[in-house]
């Protein structure tokens, strides 16, 4: 998935009010960008970081820039816009690039199910049980090269695990796909110390048959692409 407009480099000044960020462009002008990320963004919102913004001239939008990437050093990147991994995953599903789900031909996004919920993707194929696929964007990394989720308490995330568990009980497939939105990780685990309830729901869901997948996303100022599967629950210590 390519960015619609070439990104421009900037220096982060501050992120505030969850969805706003001030940055300094190369000509020293200061702009305010939309930050499409409601999470804690641990380690990704420090003053002085080199970031990349997508400009736009849409008169219907309040801000002329959107924050897309952070440079991590050593040619590694982290994605900021939490709406993009779902689009990256959808593209990969349609191209058959998620081997565990490549047998499904029909892919429907945002289908109502459960208790006032919507599944990210409902996959169907004659002769196969429908597959309910939920996607979670992961940007937290604290120790080693292991990505972690969640980065804050998430009752909504726990609810999604419980909904997927109910789909298993009804005879369907259920898949939680963790999209690792940074390029410096080689494994994934649940941050049980941050949200013990989520960790318990994760373990219960997996024991019930919910499939836990993790894939990293290749990032650059030009594009984002689903890349490699990563081991799940890599040396969980918490």
pLDDT of residue 206: 97
Tokens of 96: 């058959």
Domain range annotation of the chain: 8-79, 84-229
Q: Of 179, 214, 189, which Cα lies nearest the Cα of 84?
A: 179
CATH fold of 84-229: Trna Endonuclease; Chain: A, domain 1 (3.40.1350)
Q: Give residue-wise pLDDT tens across range 186-199.
A: 999 999 999 999 99
CATH number, span 8-79: 2.40.50.580
Share the mean pLDDT of the chain.
95
Asked if the model's pLDDT at residue 238 lies above 60, the reply is no
Residue 74 DSSP code? T
Per-residue pLDDT band for 234 (boundaries 50, 70, 90) equals low
Do the domains at 8-79 and 84-229 have one common CATH topology? no
pLDDT at 236: 60
List the one residue out of 72, 102, 107 whose CA is nearest residue 86. Answer: 107
Q: Which tens digit of pLDDT belongs to each residue from 114-162? A: 888 899 999 999 999 999 999 999 999 998 999 999 999 999 999 999 9
Q: What is the pLDDT of residue 235?
A: 59
- 173 contacts: CB under 8 Å, gap ≥ 6: 128, 129, 130, 131, 132, 167, 211
Please state, in angstroms and as integers, the Cα–Cα distance from residue 153 to each residue in 30, 79, 196, 204, following that order. Answer: 33, 21, 9, 18
Tokens representing 234 are: 């890599």
Dihedral sign for Cα atoms in the order 199, 137, 26, 19: negative
Q: How far apart are CA 39 and CA 26, in angstroms?
A: 27
Cα gap 41→174, rounded to integer Å: 28
**What pLDDT is stored for residue 167 in this prediction?**
97
Coil, strand or helix at 96: coil
Cis peptide before 39 (omega within 30 of 0): no
What is the model's pLDDT at position 116?
83
Checking if the pLDDT of 91 tops 70, the result is yes
């Amino acid at each position: 998935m390519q960015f619609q407009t070439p990104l421009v480099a900037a220096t982060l000044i501050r992120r505030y009010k969850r969805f706003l960020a001030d940055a300094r462009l190369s000509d020293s002008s200061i702009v305010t960008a939309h930050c499409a990320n409601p999470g804690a963004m641990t380690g990704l919102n420090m003053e002085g970081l080199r970031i990349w913004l997508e400009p736009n001239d849409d008169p219907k939008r309040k801000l002329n820039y959107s924050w897309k990437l952070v440079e991590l050093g050593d040619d590694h990147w982290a994605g900021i816009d939490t709406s993009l991994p779902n689009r990256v995953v959808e593209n990969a599903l349609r191209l058959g690039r998620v081997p565990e789900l490549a047998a499904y031909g029909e892919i429907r996004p945002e289908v109502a199910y459960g208790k006032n919920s919507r599944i990210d993707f409902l996959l169907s194929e004659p002769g196969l049980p429908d597959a309910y696929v939920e996607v979670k964007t992961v940007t937290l990394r604290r120790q080693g090269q292991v990505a972690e989720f969640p980065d804050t308490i998430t009752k909504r995330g726990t609810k999604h695990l419980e909904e997927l568990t109910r789909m298993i009980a009804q005879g369907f497939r259920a898949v939680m796909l963790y999209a690792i939105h940074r390029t410096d990780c080689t494994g994934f685990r649940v941050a049980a110390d941050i949200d013990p309830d989520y960790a318990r729901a994760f373990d219960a869901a997996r024991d019930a048959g919910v499939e836990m997948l993790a894939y990293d996303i290749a990032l650059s100022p030009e594009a984002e692409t689903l890349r490699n599967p990563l081991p799940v629950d890599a040396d969980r210590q918490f």
